[in-house]
Structure 1
């Protein structure tokens, strides 16, 4: 398994993997689809995207978002004061192809993204997950994330909202 930070040349591969995996989910509510612009923005300026390759094929990716003061900053949902918002990072989407599930990739990506957030001076780390996504819930909680609340987000899709302080 080869894991590396992805650049803009990989956006089409990321999109193809996302569309492929999401097409087989039992419910479209389980994942909030991103568009190409989101991916380009998070590769270039608002975050980092990591990919896992198996036999030369992209089989998983994971997004670490640095939302700054933008409206997408989850810190506002959690009541973070305005002056602390620049120190908020989010564990955004993680997609793992069925052929690579059970290898611990999601947990690995959680640790990697937390390390990168710490290295970049972030103090608050947030993530959202569908209440029926039990594997993702278990993985977040095993990394020390604490459920704060549940509410509709992303066009009305129910989400558990998790937090972890990095101080």
Structure 2
């Protein structure tokens, strides 16, 4: 699918489509990353079960993987969600039941701890969004935990906007990010406001007023989100 050189080590890598016969190495890599994340006490990774990966790999989405020396070091998944999902992100985007059929989720992204810093998450993201069948799917959406800065920056870099901040998945606070492939992104923002990421209620009020989160700025002292409409 694509070959290149890692930014940090200059090792060659290859990106390929993943299939059912890759399931074991997918699960092994996810476990390595899960253990690394657990040590950092972060809830940034929501691991998928073997059955969930099988669902994606057998027609309800697709996956790509990055290999170095024939070893899987990163993967990214796209999911076609079930229409009867009570937490369907299409509802957060105000889509009709019919329009929900045209939505894919940007699902789990995993990068081996030894290969972070190479920009693989967003590089793979650009590839999967190009690979989406635009004749069938118009929208892409995902959820990200507040303060998961790498994942938020990744989704914003891929053209998604924050459209909601609410409890999802057993009461966990999540940003909902959304992109319409047919939307024109050239209209300049008329109003912008920047608020701290920890100001949940202020952000929720802006979102109710029609603002969308378009960028984040992070320093050692604080993290801020810029909203516009």
The answer to whether the aligner puts 1:53 opposite 2:67 as a matched pair is yes
- Unmatched 5+ residue regions in structure 2? 1-12, 183-229
Once the two structures are overlaid, the 10-residue window that deviates more, 138-147 or 63-72, is 63-72
1:57-104, Cα deviation, whole Å (9 max, x unpaired): 111111111125241642123221111011001101000011221111
SS at match of 2:31: helix
CA contact (8 A) 2:92 2:164 kept: no
Shift of 1:166: 0.5
Which aligned pairs between 1:4-153 and structure 2 lie closer than 5 A?
A: 4-25=16-37, 26-71=40-85, 73-153=88-168
Cα RMSD, aligned residues only: 1.6
2: CA distance between counterparts of 1:40 and 1:9? 10
Post-superposition offset of 1:109: 1.7
Cα distance in 1 between the residues matched to 2:107 and 2:59: 15
Contact in 1 for aligned 2:92/2:163 (Cα 8 Å): no
SS in 2 for 1:52: strand
TM-score by length of 2: 0.68
Distance (whole Å) between structure 1 residues aligned to residue 57 and residue 89 of structure 2: 19
User: Which SS does the other structure have where 1:32 is aligned?
Assistant: coil
Q: CA deviation at 1:3?
A: 0.6
The Cα shift of 1:28 comes to 4.8
Aligned residues: 167
Inter-CA distance 70–55: structure 2 relative to 1 (3 Å threshold): farther
Return the TM-score normalized by structure 1: 0.92
Per the alignment, residue 154 of structure 1 pairs with 169
Q: Take 1:145 and 1:92, find their aligned partners in 2: how far apart are those partners?
A: 14
Determine which structure has greater relative contact order: mean sequence separation of CA pairs < 8 Å that are 6+ residues apart, divided by chain length: 1
Query: Shift in Å at residue 120 of structure 1?
Result: 4.9
Contact between 1:42 and 1:49, CA under 8 Å: does it hold in 2? yes
Deviation at 1:154, TM superposition (A): 2.5
Question: CA–CA distance in 2 between the matches of 1:28 and 1:120?
Answer: 37
